[in-house]
Copies of this chain bind each other. A is one copy, B any other.
């Protein structure tokens, strides 16, 4: 006869859903950071997110926080991984499950949430010291995003519906910290059959207005699910 094991000591951990929200402002990759409202690390900068209740879905907790702050209804996101080091939180054992999300920054206006004041964008290469191990989480998320962008055209999630090739070019150069030949970049990118040229041009101020493009929705979904090489090599 099997003894019934006392499971109570195991049901003693908290799980936090957090999200690294990436956006591109036309020049640099940015990350969304909030001020913590509660202890621990009250007032410190941190990633959006909160603790999960036992009947909640972790993913919805993490992405729900992003939706609350950005006002967006659909957000492209992926799990990074679980961060499980002991001694992250004074109240007990907390595991953080981290996601990253890609959003269009243009026209967003950031809202406060009950658990998150003063949402701000920071350039990814100019981040302050964040609460917990959130700097490590961002570093991991960025590595994952880079890998994904080499294979899938998800960079589009950070651009406006109508965008120019120079914008896309800058995005890739900033993200990979590399420079790509303009002509080769265009050729390769256009060969994917993903970009539809419009008869519209972006009024840029001083210079020749670049042509606007939009993504072919069906092709985008196809490449996002089945593609496995997108960006130029490094």
What residue in chain B is nearest A91 (Cβ atoms)?
B7
Report whether A85 and B57 are in contact in the complex, using a CB–CB cutoff of 8 Å: yes
Contact of A38 among B5, B58, B92 (CB under 8 A): B5
Q: Which of A2, A54, A56 has the most CB of B within 10 A?
A: A54
A14 proximal to B (CB < 8 A): yes
Which positions 135-175 of chain A face chain B at CB distance < 8 Å?
A: none
Complex Cα spacing A28 to B4, Å: 39
Given A59-B84, A84-B97, A12-B11 contact (CB < 8 Å):
yes
Contact of A93 among B4, B51, B55 (CB under 8 A): B55
A9 proximal to B (CB < 8 A): yes
A68 proximal to B (CB < 8 A): no
A198 proximal to B (CB < 8 A): no
Residues in B whose Cβ lies below 8 Å from that of A9: 53-54
Report whether A38 and B81 are in contact in the complex, using a CB–CB cutoff of 8 Å: no
Residues in B whose Cβ lies below 8 Å from that of A92: 7, 11, 54
Residues in B whose Cβ lies below 8 Å from that of A82: 58, 79, 81-82, 95, 97
**Can you tell how many copies of this chain the complex includes?**
2
Complex Cα spacing A97 to B93, Å: 15
Shortest A198–chain B CB gap in Å is 34
A selection of 23 A-B contacts at a CB cut-off of 8 Å is A2-B42, A7-B14, A7-B91, A9-B54, A10-B15, A10-B52, A11-B14, A11-B91, A11-B92, A12-B14, A12-B53, A13-B14, A13-B15, A13-B54, A15-B15, A15-B84, A54-B86, A55-B86, A56-B86, A79-B81, A81-B81, A82-B95, A228-B234
A39 proximal to B (CB < 8 A): yes
Shortest A220–chain B CB gap in Å is 21
Bits for A70-111, please: 1 = Cβ < 8 Å to B, else 0.
000000000101101110000111010100000000000000
Shortest A22–chain B CB gap in Å is 19
Given contacts A13-B13, A79-B82, A228-B234, 9 further A-B contacts (CB under 8 A): A7-B92, A9-B54, A12-B12, A13-B15, A13-B52, A54-B93, A57-B86, A82-B95, A95-B97
Residues in B whose Cβ lies below 8 Å from that of A234: 228
